Amino acid sequence: MRKVSRRQFTQEASLAFLAGVSVTVAACGGGGGGGGGDDGYGPPTSGTPTTTLPPAGSEEGAVAANHGHVATITAAELAAGGAVTVNIAGSAGHPHVVELPAQAVQQIRDGRKVEKQSTMTDAHTHVVTFNPERPEEPERY
C-alpha cells in the first residue's frame, strides 16, 4: 500500500479539485504524526511525488474504502455508450472489476450519479461512484 503524507494528500486533492475531479475519502487509516522524512507523515526526503490525472474526456469514479484502486472510463468508451468492464486494480496490488451495462455508461456520460459494486477479491469489494459530486441519489447497478 502506498503511504501518502498529509502534504501529498493535500496537494493531490487540490490538483484533483482544480481539474474537476471529485475526491472521496473513505476508510482513512493511519495515526498521528507530523514527523519528517519518508515516514509517511512529513514531506518526503527522496523521490518526487507525482499526480496522475485521468485523460481528457474520461470519467474517474470515486472508490470507497480505497487503497490504491483507480476506476476510469475512457472518453472513447463514454462516447460509444456501450457496456464496459473496468479493471480498477490501480496500484492496490490486486484486481477488482466493475461491470457497467450500456444504460449506466450513458447515464455517466450524461452527468448522472451512478454506483456499482466491484467483484470480490481478497475477501472484500469496493463501491465505485461515478459523478459523486451530484446531489441526487445514485442509480445503482
Report which of 52, 43, 64, 58 is spatially closest to residue 117, judged by C-alpha positions: 64
Domain edges within the chain:
1-53, 54-141
Distance CA 18, CA 21 (A): 7
pLDDT in tens, 36-65: 444 333 344 444 444 566 778 899 999 999
CB atoms < 10 A from the CB of 88, how many?
22
pLDDT in tens, 109-134: 999 999 999 999 999 999 999 999 99
The kind and range of the H/E element at 16 are helix 6-18
Task: Specify the pTM.
Answer: 0.63
Cβ 64 vs Cβ 129: under 8 Å: yes
